[in-house]
Chain A
Amino acid sequence: MDTQTKTNDNDINDEDMDDIFGDTEGSYELDNKVSLRVYYDQYFPFDLIYEWLSINSLFGHGEASQIRFFERREFSSRITKMDGTTFVTRNRSFSKLDDIKDYLKGRNPNNNSIDVAERLDIGPIYSCEPIKKSMVTDYTPLYKEIVFDIDINDYNDIRVCCSDTSLCMKCWGFLAVAAKFVEMYMKECFGFEQLLYVFSGRRGLHVWVSDQRALSLSSEARANIIKYVKYERTSVLLPILQRGFDELFLPYFEQHVLEEQDIFGNAAQYKNFLSKLPLEVRVGKKTIIHPLDQIKEKMLEIKDQATSLEKWRAISDYFKQNNLMEYVYDIVFHYTLPRFDDKVTNHIIHLLKSPFCIHPSTGKLCVPIDLKDIDQFNPTKVPLLNSILSTPKVSFNPYRASFKNYIEQMKLKSQQQISINDPTSF
């Protein structure tokens, strides 16, 4: 099917599209559309999405401020018509939950289409309601959750278990360790507490940070959050990277990556690994050593008798003995440090798929994940649209319940923050 992307908003021309949206492919078969409409009608948790996006309203306390906050949120969606043309509708906003429902189901006359929406994307909160954009002179994005997007295909050069956009439990580990680091980083360095982890439906993981202070960060501050933890060769690590190394990255590398990604067994992987080693390094004033050659030799010696872990330990010991810890960091971070899609985090106007969407090309539910279960999460066993409709009790309700629980926790945390910040509440 020939797919064209069009937009009904003159201010966004196609050259902007790739920047604002993540993946762009996928169109819908007719029976899927029917199921999808049922899903929106009976299951999609509009009430919870509303709460989640507005509890931390920066327009004051109470229900009224929550509504105002929600009304200025940009939503977007994509609709594939019968002729294969894909429409993107941007700058939508809603004051009633039923309106979003209608919008997704395709009954809204403002929708330019009677077709069902493939997905719902969430943007920032603007200075006025996005639907009224054309009526005002000042239309500025004000607030947005901090979001992180980590896609498994950015790890293609270091994984052998899968290729392209496929994702198994082994390579899910890369995303799981990234999530754990985000949690550690956000809590320790910024004091952020309200983090939601969502499987993106196909190849990645989204993290949403909803604390009020996070909502109001500038694009520059967001970009700096990413830059702060970029690793450049050094023997003295930034404290947060040191903690990440000790508690997450090194254990994950030693216990999983070495074996699961066959670093020493697979020829291509081994070659890549060796390419991370320095050819020659000066130690002290006069001595020059040749790590690559020396390590290659050592590996030949112990070739068959040693496990992957023993081989790796021999290599890291070699560097430690020569006081060259930076090369150990180089390797471990290369294989384990989160590979964020920077532009998603940096740009406040970037749209990100809502939790509980059905991924347009896999049919999988974009489920929130509890961090304590993230290691056991199996991306290949996620409920599909059809299973939700046939067996909602097992395929949908538990996810709704866990999202609801997350939101209850958010409410508690927000109330605590209010009572800390507001002396009159005592």
Chain B
Amino acid sequence: MLRTTNKKTKIEEEEIKGYNSSLYSIVYANVPTFECNLTQIEHTCLDRITLLDQIVKLKDSNPKGNSTSLDVQFFGLVTQYLGKHEHPSTKLKDELSHFMCRIAMCDSEEDKDWFINAEALLLNFRLSTNDLTTHLEQFTEFGWSKLTTQEFETYQKDLEYLVLTSNGKPIDLDINSFYKIPFEDVPKLVEHGKVVLKKGWAIVFKAYFRELIICTYRNYLEFAIEKVKQDKARFKTQYPEIAEILRGITRPTIVNSKLYGANSSHIKKEQIPELSKTFPLCMRVMHDHLISYGKLMHDGRLQYGTFLKGIGLSLDEALGFWKNAFSKRVTSSEFDKEYAYQFRHTYGQEGKGISYDPYSCEKIQRTFPSGKEQVHGCPYLWDSERLEKKLLELGIDPSKTYDIVEASKTQSRMACTKHFHFLHPNNNNLTGVINHPNFFFEQSKIYFKQIDEKNKKSKENSKNNNGDVVLD
């Protein structure tokens, strides 16, 4: 798969023999043969990381979605870091850096999440300017297939339903407007009734091809990187020099969860009830559940516990807080025996001594609560009905609630960001999208600090005014 030479320094057209460009695919489903040198690997990887970082930032600063000007900026970035599209070296550079970065990003969950997320954005941008049907053939490897003419005829009524409910036109009732995919592979579309199910196949209308491609691609990357991880030891022995170079390729840290690991500010347990009113919804839900039922299941304790640690609650304060919250059901000595260990563990005082970082949105969204007792995870992934009920319960007005619920259907973090803006009216500090509950909290803190300062100023002003009046 990989041949390295130390002589070459630049990628030139005549040097990329052995490279089969017909395998080029925007989802990197096949690993081509690379012939390149170590410096190339390092440079292309660094360029790709920068490119991905820029794309993530571009997206974060324009959370509302795609526009033509965004696409232009995006293509500027791709050309800058990968080269012009038509140029054969672009393909090599693109594929080489992609496959190398898989290896570089496979070790930690955080790196992997960031990489998959950024790569999915890259694909999304690419798809937005391409005719999707030209790409669909690439997905036969993922078990997608076209309908047979017989299926097309037998399922006429079902297909009409799909066209009708996806705002399609009569002309869309065409065999090429549909693909069938194993239903297990399209969970979101099944959940929301956007597909017709037939004998284990989900029949998908073309309106959903794009989000499906993205989703399939993410799953595929997840799977592929897991494989790379398992194979890493062998890779290291086989290509020690490359492994060494890849060790130096790191993810840019912008809002790194580690930032929240140690917090200089100190929060007392008595402040939590008041503070919880402006917590992100996931934490608010867990807090409310904890207070009303006097319990929180294991995953919830971990997610809420590390969050509280991240906002500056010391271990002693935390133990006091949890003991008190559990006191409805558990005596003090039972708490010390059954639960205290976990919290000390979270703070690195037990077990392997690893201090646990607060969970990012990415990580929280991967946890799948089961059962009504479990309230961890991301509430924006709930059924609309349940989410709506909770938001209204928290006193968010119906129109804003509607707004948030609608956003949650496509972009959970956008919904979370909308919730932030509701809790912090006229906020002008947060411009991007929430990607971490502790980021939410820090932003909230900044907001209230600014308000405090404003109030102080206006108080001082009014004092001065009073003085003036006296002088008069």
- Say whether A associates with B: yes
Residue contact A213 to B200, C-beta cutoff 8 Å: yes
A188-B199, A189-B199, A236-B165 given; A220·B373 CB < 8 A: no
Residue contact B190 to A228, C-beta cutoff 8 Å: yes
- Contacts A236-B165, A343-B372 aside, 4 further interface pairs with beta carbons under 8 A come to A19-B371, A221-B184, A224-B187, A239-B196
Residue contact A224 to B190, C-beta cutoff 8 Å: yes
**Size bracket, chain B contacts:** 20 to 34
Residue contact B164 to A236, C-beta cutoff 8 Å: yes
Give the one of B157, B192, B196, B200 with max A CB within 10 A.
B200
B381 CB to closest chain A CB (Å) equals 11
Q: 1/0 per position for B395-431, CB-CB distance to A under 8 A?
A: 0000000000000000000000000000000000000
A15-B295, A236-B161 given; A228·B193 CB < 8 A: yes
Cβ-neighbour of A19 out of B157, B165, B199, B373 (below 8 A): B373
A188-B199, A191-B200 given; A18·B190 CB < 8 A: no
21 chain-A/chain-B pairs, Cβ below 8 angstroms: A13-B338, A15-B297, A19-B373, A189-B199, A190-B183, A191-B200, A220-B368, A221-B183, A221-B190, A223-B191, A224-B190, A227-B193, A228-B191, A228-B197, A236-B164, A238-B196, A239-B196, A240-B197, A343-B372, A347-B371, A349-B370
List residues of chain A with CB within 8 A of the CB of B368.
219-220
B402 CB to closest chain A CB (Å) equals 15
Q: 1/0 per position for A215-236, CB-CB distance to B under 8 A?
A: 0011111011101100000001
Interface residue? A346 (CB, 8 A): yes
Interface residue? A29 (CB, 8 A): no
Interface residue? B222 (CB, 8 A): no
B residues 340-357 touching A (CB-CB < 8 Å): none
A188 to B373, CA, bound (A): 34
A337 CB to closest chain B CB (Å) equals 14
Interface residue? A16 (CB, 8 A): yes
Q: 1/0 per position for B191-206, CB-CB distance to A under 8 A?
A: 1110011111000000
Interface residue? B158 (CB, 8 A): yes
B394 CB to closest chain A CB (Å) equals 23
A228 to B196, CA, bound (A): 10
Closest to B197 in A: A189
Residue contact A239 to B158, C-beta cutoff 8 Å: yes
A190-B199, A224-B187 given; A238·B193 CB < 8 A: yes
A218 to B219, CA, bound (A): 14
Main secondary structure of the interface of A (DSSP, over half): helix
B459 CB to closest chain A CB (Å) equals 49
Closest to B383 in A: A227
List residues of chain B with CB within 8 A of the CB of A18.
373
Residue contact B198 to A188, C-beta cutoff 8 Å: yes
B413 CB to closest chain A CB (Å) equals 20
A226 CB to closest chain B CB (Å) equals 10
Residue contact A343 to B197, C-beta cutoff 8 Å: no
A13 to B164, CA, bound (A): 50
List residues of chain A with CB within 8 A of the CB of B193.
227-228, 238
A236-B164, A238-B161 given; A347·B199 CB < 8 A: no
Cβ-neighbour of A190 out of B157, B164, B197, B371 (below 8 A): B197
A346 to B164, CA, bound (A): 30
A235 CB to closest chain B CB (Å) equals 11
A346 to B187, CA, bound (A): 14
A194 to B295, CA, bound (A): 40
Closest to A229 in B: B193
Cβ-neighbour of A224 out of B158, B191, B338, B370 (below 8 A): B191
List residues of chain A with CB within 8 A of the CB of B192.
227
List residues of chain A with CB within 8 A of the CB of B165.
236
A188 to B203, CA, bound (A): 13
Closest to A191 in B: B199
A178 to B280, CA, bound (A): 40
A236 to B200, CA, bound (A): 22
Residue contact B161 to A343, C-beta cutoff 8 Å: no
Residue contact B161 to A239, C-beta cutoff 8 Å: yes
Closest to A234 in B: B165
A16 to B369, CA, bound (A): 13
Residue contact B373 to A16, C-beta cutoff 8 Å: yes
